[in-house]
Amino acid sequence: TLLLRRPPGREAYPGDVFYLHSRLLERAAKMDDAHGGGSITALPVIETQAGDVSAYVPTNVISITDGQIYLEPELFNSGTRPAVNVGVSVSRVGSAAQTKAMRAVAGQLRLELAQYRELVTFAQFGTDDLDASTRRQLERGQRSVEVLKQGQNVPLPVEQQVVILYALNEGYLDDVEIADVIGWEEALHAYMSSNHGDLLKAIADKADLTDDSRASLNSAIEEFKKSGLAN
């Protein structure tokens, strides 16, 4: 407020700061035909104070944008990267931007991960009294976290994402040690590329998981597990 010489509003920001934010984000850039045409989408990056997303600037920007990805320092420090807090992260576009194949395998993943985070907090008080169902949910959550870990500058094609999430959902990783999940995933991708490239291409081209694709995936993953390459 002092810098802009305007009347103060909430938290000493100018009263029209919402308008200023929306003007920056909604009209980031529009090129005329002489400069190639098209528009530029702004991706605002906000540093929160002690993880407080309810502060003035974060809530302002959240209300303007089509969603937010919340990166949590605790997850980053624990080795979970990208360190996305799925409970706080939101997409207003949601599944409308996903292929049918991705919706089929990832539809419940966000909810399951959020429930897993809550269970982890609860389990810190001791796991001796947890029932078998809760233990299975914790173990599945741990494997989900490992599967979603991704190295920097290591993009993964959508069809490969579909394959590993399908394997996770169908329980093919349930007997894989947590520490071996990443290596198992890498071996599966290499096996699928070498031996079932046509299946990967079909998933990519159709952008859907048909009954035939599911049957072929089951057969391919079972072959992979029997081959010994998964060890």
Residue 215 located in a structural domain? yes
Task: Say if residue 218's pLDDT is above 70.
Answer: yes
Residue 48 located in a structural domain? no
Cis-peptide into 157, omega within 30 deg = no
Task: Say if residue 125's pLDDT is above 80.
Answer: no
Q: By the 8 A CB rule, do 173 and 147 touch?
A: yes
Q: Among the options 6, 23, 27, 92, which is catalytic?
A: 92
Q: Which of 1-15, 53-67, 102-116, 204-218 has the lowest mean pLDDT?
A: 1-15
Residue 127's pLDDT is 64
What is the token pair recorded at 105?
């395998």
Count of residues making up the chain = 231
Residue 76 located in a structural domain? no
What's the pLDDT band for 211 if we cut at 50, 70, 90? very high
* C-alpha dihedral, 169 to 78 to 89 to 54, nearest 10°: 150
CA 43/CA 28 separation, integer angstroms: 9
Residue 57 located in a structural domain? no
Q: At what angle do helices 181-195 and 211-227 cross, to 10 degrees?
A: 110
Cis-peptide into 58, omega within 30 deg = no
What's the pLDDT band for 231 if we cut at 50, 70, 90? low
CA 223 to chain centre: 28
Q: How many domains does the chain have?
A: 1
Residue 128 located in a structural domain? yes
Which range of residues forms the domain containing residue 146?
98-231
* pLDDT digits 0-9 by tens, 138-157: 999 999 999 999 988 999 99
Residue 20 located in a structural domain? no
* C-alpha dihedral, 122 to 125 to 131 to 137, nearest 10°: 40
143 catalytic? Reply is: no
* pLDDT digits 0-9 by tens, 48-90: 988 889 888 899 999 888 889 999 999 999 889 999 998 889 8
Residue 147: which CATH number?
1.20.150.20
Phi first, then psi: give them for residue 123, nearest 5 degrees.
-70, -15
